[in-house]
Chains A and B, each alone.
Chain A
Amino acid sequence: MAYVEARDLGVQYPVLTSSARSLKNTILSRTTGGRIAGNKAHFIQIRALDHLNFRFHPGDRVALIGHNGSGKSTLLRVLAGIYHPTAGTIQVSGRVAALFDSAFGMDIDATGYENIILRAKYLGIPRSEINRQIEEIADFTDLGEFLQMPIRTYSAGMTARLAFAISTSVNADILLIDEGVGAGDAAFMAKANKRLQELIDRSPIVVFASHDQKTVRDFCTRGLVLQSGNLIYDGPVEEAYAQYDTIVGAALR
């Protein structure tokens, strides 16, 4: 059964200045044996997540709520297995799909079909499933003959539609969505939202980070409020927003 469990999860990463990024400088500073004072100052550590404890169960629709830089995206990347925790543990059981940047990995010189295959390969989808997906995506995007053309001939809206259709064709136990997974013109939006809803409905666990309160309230039941890497509230989404608003309010006053 799918679950996610974090215990004292922490992420701290260095922001490497250009000096710390230089092999020459690193070796020189070693040989000069600490004569260069304040060398450590070039090595800034950012505490992106600090002692997080939570457990997600099947049926959880979790919203990550917080300011820019509060740690939402970092947490999503940890859940996806891209960032490794530097403290504590994270246990993720189940197949994870990450929808971070829907336009990711699109090659403008390749055809629509090739792009579908390209993305599917990245996600590790087996060949038989790819063929089924191609038909389904072609059907959904209404791009028809255009799928045989390089996507540099597409309009921005068409590209967005294709990207959206490809990234939402996944099947996973744990679905991670970062904001920016949107699609095309208004007419397409209704269709896109329906598809997103279907995707969410068939995924046991969904973790969603967005600033769009309406979307979040529509899709999510549980809210985690993050502030500078700390988990300050975990509970029903409405109360999470109430908590968040008091913080924002406090900051404004």
Chain B
Amino acid sequence: MIKSSFLDSLEGLKRADLWLFLGWHDVKQRYRRSTLGPLWITLATLLFVGAMTLVYSALFRQDIRSFLPLAACGIVVWTFIAGCISEGCNLFITASTTIKQVPAPLTVHAFRLIWTQLIYFLHNLIVVFIALGATGIFFSLETLLFFPAIALLTLNLAWMALFLGVMSARFRDMPLIVQSLITGLFMATPVLWQISYLPPERQWIAYLNPFTYLVEIVRLPLIGIAPSFNIWAVVLAMAAIGWALALLTYGRARTRLAYWV
């Protein structure tokens, strides 16, 4: 079953011209009639990062110059993660007309979503550059680790979207459950803080949370630090186990999805 759903995913990947096109189309369509276009995404993130930095650097009694790059990178990475997860739930539900009209591998819809969110993420990266530039953190060799890190993060988000998409198509309260968990997850994940902010006896919260590793693996290279071996190992293992789970779920549901949506 894993094999057949793996082959199906490959078929989906092969239709890259379709989902790359549709992903761009989604972004363009959302901002078609506004002057700033997709830069609205950047602007919204910029305002959010600004407000969070002003408030939370004071709350945590941190130097604003060390806090700003941390918060900017954290929020931008988190926005990507949260976008893929919450939109991932509606993956097949929103595509229901397409699914019933056009024969195409269903994984196309998952890749389309990830690509759309990746485009938003790239827009938001401007905010990261502004924050890094403002605080005088410039390019170093460690920054190059950003590329394998973002690839690994995307790989992880893709299986999450596929898994949640299938589960939500079958169980319609799934999106609501996920939605209510995601805010709590934001607080429990080092997005606006670092593990070192916690007293040692509380740090287990961060270490047990898989999203800690997903955020840190991308955030650390951006601020010029190489992620530790443990972070790479955890994220790689998550990708392997997660994809097995997602392919198994998708394999069981693949032939029935069209009836569910």
A contact residues vs B (CB 8 Å cutoff): 13-14, 16, 18, 21-24, 26, 77, 80-84, 96, 98, 100-101, 104-105, 107, 109-110, 114, 117-118, 121-124, 127
Contact = CB atoms under 8 A, between A and B. Distances in A.
Interface residues of B, number: 30
Sorted nearest first, the 10 A-B pairs with minimum C-beta distance are: A84-B255, A23-B171, A13-B259, A81-B103, A21-B172, A104-B101, A22-B173, A80-B103, A121-B18, A121-B21
B112 to A, nearest CB: 11
A105 B26 CA distance: 12
Interface string B227-250: 000000000000000000000000
Contacts of A117: 21
A123 B102 contact: yes
B98 interface: yes
Interface in B92-113: 97-104
B167 interface: yes
Chain B residues touching A, majority SS:
helix
Contacts, number: 78
26 contacts: A14-B259, A16-B170, A16-B260, A21-B171, A21-B172, A22-B173, A23-B173, A26-B171, A77-B258, A81-B103, A82-B103, A82-B258, A84-B258, A96-B103, A101-B97, A101-B101, A105-B102, A107-B25, A109-B29, A109-B33, A110-B25, A118-B21, A121-B17, A121-B18, A122-B102, A124-B18
A149 to B, nearest CB: 13
Interface in B171-200: 171-174, 177
B256 interface: yes
A104 to B, nearest CB: 5
A200 to B, nearest CB: 20
